[in-house]
Amino acid sequence: MSRKKTSPAKILSNCGKCGLCLSVCPVYQTLKEEQASPRARLQLIKAFENNTLEASPLLKDIISKCLMCGSCAVACPSGINHYERFMEMRQKMVEDLGESPAIKGLIYLLSKEFRLRAGTRMAALGQRITPEFIAGKYKLGNIPVNRFPTLNSLPVRKRIHSRVPPAPGSPPGKGSLVYFTGCATNYMFEDTGKAVIGILTSLGYEVIVPEAQTCCAVPLLFHGAAGRAADNIRTNIRAISRSPFDRVIVDCTTCGAALKDEYPGFIARAMANDHRTKSGWEELAEAANVISEKTTDILSFLGEHDLVFNTSPNRGPRHLGRAVYHAPCHSRNSFGTHAGVQDLLRRLPNLEYIPTAGEADCCGGGGTFFYEHPGTAGKMMDKKQAGIRAAKPDVWLTDCPVCRINLAGSLDEKDRIKVSHPVVPVYEALNREAGGIKS
């Protein structure tokens, strides 16, 4: 999603109301209501900025009923950056009307790593002591509390060294990669972290895991907390830039979109809107651009390599059965990964990849969308589940942690479908030891 140089007023006036955004908007396709369409939101923003429409709970709800998937911006023939305008409008709605206690709490946790670390420790304790029959009665959105992932016993970044050397016997001189783990891998999905580091070190790369990294800030930006987001952005740019690196690798494409698109855009807007803040960002602007240029998702990065899988009939990896794939919105829209992931999955010897018609349809996760708009999210998930159950898979793969939470949390126990990041079967198929992960 490229950034535009035109003024906000001109961007809004460029909307020709052609309706192409309606064909790609998951929310509109689910609700079939004009007010749920991207073009309607643009017109409402225009009216608000022209002082012909006042802030109201209804307006805030309409603006928030968006998955921030970026599909409309990709499809727009006028080059309108809906994504950016919607984030700006969300901030104005929060300034005028405030935010719900639950979202305020989430922002509070994500804006400081020590708070998030303490919060996950308390949540992990709650998971251990809360009886199953009680946890199953309560839901966040449509997801029962007992269907949320078990939190890591120790954060991934605490399990590994900040510099993980190439695996013994791997190809020499491949260079250094920064691994931006994101919050979900660090605190929930240690299998993803183990697989990413194991794959990269087996390919001959040194992996740098910045200790000071924190939340990518996308959840803060999505909920109008630009001031708190600025602190996270500064922290991450400095943490990533501390050592020389060849690429920045993410296993979550939402985090990747933050590093690739949001950081340079945020800094440019901050410098353009307030000359007093310019000097505060100038030193980081160049570093942000370098990070943006060098950021890629792990699956796209693997597509650049000739991977050799273990196909030994006796000592090869265990077969995982039939596998389907869910293509996250940011993977498709920010990194264009869909076709490459399909090719990679077809090559894996340890599963049978079954393409499904709706694998690129949004699941309704969208950060906190599944919590804030459970009715709409539930309809989207029901449609996906119908297609998935028809395929009778053993494994459901997706490279977005929120999608993973949403997919797994919406399944029934009787489905017996394991939800995983694609790097896990890739790592098993390579049959290499994980570099730097403590058992």
Query: Closest Cα partner for 117 from 158, 178, 160, 148?
Result: 158
Q: Is residue 120 part of a domain?
A: no
- Do 288 and 330 lie in a common domain? no
Q: Is residue 193 part of a domain?
A: yes
Length of the chain, please? Answer: 439
- Do 187 and 260 lie in a common domain? yes
Query: Closest Cα partner for 180 from 283, 120, 258?
Result: 258
- Do 176 and 296 lie in a common domain? yes
- Do 185 and 288 lie in a common domain? yes
- Do 337 and 277 lie in a common domain? no
- Do 188 and 280 lie in a common domain? yes
Angle between helix axes 263-273 and 226-240 (nearest 10 degrees) is 120
Residue with tokens 């290499």: 432
What parts of the chain have a pLDDT lower than 50?
1-10, 432-439
- The tokens for 133 are 């029959």
Domains: count for the chain: 3
Point out the domain boundary residue: 63, 81, 96.
Answer: 96
Point out the domain boundary residue: 302, 331, 360.
Answer: 302
Query: What whole-number distance in Å separates Cα of residue 269 and Cα of residue 128?
Result: 45
CA-CA-CA-CA dihedral for 67, 70, 76, 80, to nearest 10: 100
Helix (H) or strand (E) holding 249: strand 247-250
- Do 192 and 62 lie in a common domain? no
- Do 278 and 367 lie in a common domain? no
Q: Is residue 317 part of a domain?
A: no
- Do 161 and 296 lie in a common domain? yes
Per-residue confidence (pLDDT) for residue 277, from 0 to 100: 54
Point out the domain boundary residue: 76, 96, 116.
Answer: 96
- Do 291 and 379 lie in a common domain? no
Cα–Cα–Cα angle for 210, 261, 43, nearest 5°? Answer: 145
Would you say 183 and 116 are in contact if contact means Cβ atoms under 8 Å apart?
yes
- Do 333 and 297 lie in a common domain? no
In terms of Cβ atoms closer than 10 Å to its own Cβ (0-12, 13-18, 19+), residue 307 is middle
CATH number where 326 lies: 3.40.50
Q: Is residue 103 part of a domain?
A: no
- The helix/strand/coil state of 383 is helix
CATH number where 50 lies: 1.10.1060.10
Q: Is residue 137 part of a domain?
A: no
Helix (H) or strand (E) holding 142: none
Q: Cite the beta strand spans of 109-224 per DSSP E.
A: 139-140, 143-144, 163-164, 176-180, 206-208
Tell me whether strands 143-144 and 352-353 are parallel, antiparallel or unpaired.
unpaired
Read off the DSSP letter of residue 270.
H
Q: Is residue 236 part of a domain?
A: yes
Query: Closest Cα partner for 422 from 336, 324, 287, 335?
Result: 324
Q: Is residue 437 part of a domain?
A: no
- Do 166 and 58 lie in a common domain? no
Per-residue confidence (pLDDT) for residue 275, from 0 to 100: 60
Q: Where are the alpha helices (DSSP H) in 32-144?
A: 38-49, 57-64, 71-75, 82-97, 101-110, 113-129, 132-135
Domain containing 414 equals 322-430
Angle between helix axes 38-49 and 57-64 (nearest 10 degrees) is 140
Q: Is residue 135 part of a domain?
A: no
